[in-house]
Amino acid sequence: MTEQERIVELRHELHQHNYNYYVLNAPVISDQEFDALLRELSDLEARHPELADSNSPTQRVGSDLNQEFETVLHVRPMLSLSNTYNKAEVAEFYDRVREGLAGEDFEICCELKFDGLSISLHYEEGRLVRAVTRGDGVQGDDVTANVRTIRTIPLQLAEGTGWPRSFEIRGEVLMPWASFEALNREREAREEQLFANPRNAASGTLKSKQTAVVAERRLDAYLYYLLGDEVPADGHYENLQAARSWGFQVSEHMRKVRTLDEIYAFIDYWDTERRNLPVATDGIVLKVNSQRQQRALGMTAKSPRWAIAYKFQAEQQSTILREVTFQVGRTGAVTPVANMDPVQLSGTVVRRATLHNADFMSDLDLHLGDHVLVEKGGEIIPKIVAVDEAFITPDRGPRVEFIKRCPECGAELVRFEGEAAWYCPNETGCPPQIKGRIEHFVSRRAMDINTLGPETIDDLYNRHLIRNVADLYDLTVDQLSGFNDNRIVSARKTVKAIEDSRQVPFERVLFALGIRFVGETVAKTLARRFRDIDTLSRATLDELLSVNTIGQAIAESVIRWFADMNNIFLVERLRSHGLQFQLSQETLAAQSDRLAGKTVVISGVFVYHSRDEYKALIEQHGGKNTGSISAKTSFILAGDNMGPAKLEKAQKLNIPIVSEDEFLQMIG
Ligand code: IVH
């Protein structure tokens, strides 16, 4: 067998194993065997770049380079469903269908309503060719590269199972509860903002610009609608059973029924049973099964007349509000928290609920001792939805007011224009802000001093050993261990980690400083543009605003930070400890403006570098990589086998085509 043939064989086998493992949950080989086959394929593909295939099983791991999403028109508009909230409305739907079909018999397909985001997948000749988000229903984002990493979505359908040459299948991309909880645990440890529910997490993930992030997050997908001119049957249910046999994950909980009572039974069963599902659902979908009858019923402007959603009630409980406390975060933002009598809600005991901010709190008009309704719907953090007015008495407790002074340091709170939160302005003297900033500074994505957890920081703070991040660099093993022999080993490790952090590159140091609105990406952008901290500290508002992606809020925050002498002293102390305050020689040398202002499309198969490497090179030299050719494209970086459609479009728009060699010369 030639290497080419082995590549084809391995791809085929791995697609099948992938399906067995992720869709059927019935693997026939061990994980190690699977990994070995995947490695073999990956090695062979590296030796044969001419055989690159974006649908190869090796592509499921994604890449960490930025991609752009192209907006594309849906072949058939993606409608949404009208919602019903009670059985009477369901009965009205059933009657409308019966009347619409003039007495003809009909079946209703009952399904779960998955709570994720809808996706449209296109297959040609058994290959996934395009995946598009719903967008506004008329056009959506092409997220094919991200969707390829979802293991339950087949990239290549098995031969001989009867799939049509060309079809579209729609479904829901979801983040299973288990992945969602693991993700939030990790985010909590890194002090990143938590996702409120699996839907937001799935949506944030699918829109991520880095396919490797998507691959890591373990999304899942259920398919619930098959479309095309050659679908196998008239029945929607039957079509989905066929789709399952082609390799798609189709819910096993669909049922075909005829009577309203059967529909009610399905609703009642899933209203409680849904809590045992591995993914979030927010209702039931009812669809007339026959496509002929669906066409006869037609649609309104927004939704089909042949289908409807029934939404589950979010679970609510009543309990008593005892106290409102106020928490101060790293940025000084003050969050009100309701403390209530414990109450059982959706399987957990709830005692606290966030009140978000002053406006949210005052809109609820809360008084101590009020009976409040607590809800845990799609949101993970319970919320108070209303005061239970039936229990309000003339001797109602005092109204809860937002505080005027910081509960931690007593400073008078301030509010910034256009923001809902109140802040404690005492950045350098307010304990949770100081500790929070140090925790951020040492976090993995910043200085990565991973031996210093929140408790150690708290302890060092209480022992008056640290008051700002520069103090970390003066800590000794004895101070860290507190002369406790049992702590010497870990204290040495910490001192070593602190020392090592002096090599952390400038862009991460900038992020670690915790300037408001300067997250990882902004820090990188600022570092690349201004190259060292002194130039950045002197940048004017206009200079900052002239940088792509830097807006007013970020620019003002940077100016404000450098205007504070405490921060200038802090930088000087950190500099004297040897931290990196300018871009490294390597980064500088690898950078140029040769492609500044140029928009480049990559197409075809390359010899010297991978596609992802070319993307990185374009960015490094100040250019922008986009997916589709338009009048704005400056040139096309073309390898072998450039797609004929792209070639034609490029010629039509008169866009230069640049070969690999020419491109490498261009960037020197
Ligand atoms: S069918 C024309 N079936 O609910 C019919 N949708 O509110 C198109 N959804 O945008 C949709 N589970 O994202 C259908 N079993 C299911 C569904 C489902 C979840 C979502 C879908 C759609 C939204 C409509």
- Whole-number Å distance between alpha carbons of 616 and 596: 14
* 113 catalytic residue (yes or no): yes
CA of 173 from ligand 1 middle (Å) equals 11
Ligand 1 atom nearest to CA at 304: 2
Query: What's the whole-number mean pLDDT along residues 296-312?
Result: 91
State residue 71's pLDDT score: 86
d(CA 561, CA 330): 15
Average pLDDT of the chain, as a whole number: 91
pLDDT tens string 141-178: 999 999 999 999 999 998 889 999 999 999 999 999 99
Q: Which residues of 79-103 are buried (b: 16+ CB within 10 A; e: fewer)?
A: eebeebeeeeebeebbeebeebbee
Phi and psi at 502, nearest 5°, equal: -65, -20
pLDDT digits (tens, 9 = 90+) for 49-74: 888 898 999 888 777 666 778 888 89
Residue nearest to atom 12 of ligand 1 (CA): 113
pLDDT at 216 over 80: yes
> Whose Cα sits closest to atom 13 in ligand 1?
118
Integer angstrom CA distances of residue 74 from 16, 122, 168:
30, 10, 10
How far does residue 170's CA lie from ligand 1's centre (Å)? 9
431, burial (CB in 10 Å: exposed 0-12, middle 13-18, buried 19+): middle
Q: Tell me how far the alpha carbon of residue 29 lies from the centroid of ligand 1, in angstroms.
A: 35
Count Cβ atoms within 10 A of the Cβ of residue 448 and give its class: 0-12 exposed, 13-18 middle, 19 or more buried. middle
CA distances from 78 to 93, 278, 355 (A): 21, 26, 36
- How deeply is 503 buried, as exposed, middle or buried, from its count of CB atoms within 10 A (0-12, 13-18, 19+)? exposed
Share above pLDDT 70 across residues of the chain, in percent, rounded to a whole number? 98
Distance (Å, whole) CA 100 – CA 95: 8
CA distance 535 to 538: 5
Query: Of 224, 267, 306, which is best to mutate to test ligand 1, by the most ligand atoms within 8 angstroms of its C-beta?
Result: 224
Q: Which H helix or E strand runs over 288?
A: strand 281-288
| Ligand 1 pocket check for 114: Cβ under 6 Å | yes
In terms of Cβ atoms closer than 10 Å to its own Cβ (0-12, 13-18, 19+), residue 513 is: buried
Residues 6+ apart with CB under 8 A from 553: 517
Q: Is 308 in the pocket of ligand 1 (CB under 6 A)?
A: no
**172 CA distance to ligand 1 centroid (A)?**
8
pLDDT at 377 over 90: no
Run of H or E residues at 638: strand 635-638
Residues 522-581: pLDDT tens digits?
898 899 889 999 999 999 999 999 876 788 989 999 999 999 999 999 999 999 999 999
pLDDT tens digit sequence for 17-38: 988 888 887 888 887 788 889 9
This model's pTM is above 0.75: no
Q: Write b or e for each residue in 334-347: b if 16 or more Cβ atoms lie within 10 A of its Cβ, otherwise e.
A: bbbebebeebebee
Which helix (H) or strand (E) segment holds residue 371: the answer is: strand 371-376
Which has more pLDDT, 318 or 62?
Answer: 318
More confident residue, 197 or 576: 576
79 Cα nearest atom in ligand 1: 2
Catalytic residue among 87, 113, 287, 311: 113
Bigger pLDDT: 621 or 506? Answer: 506
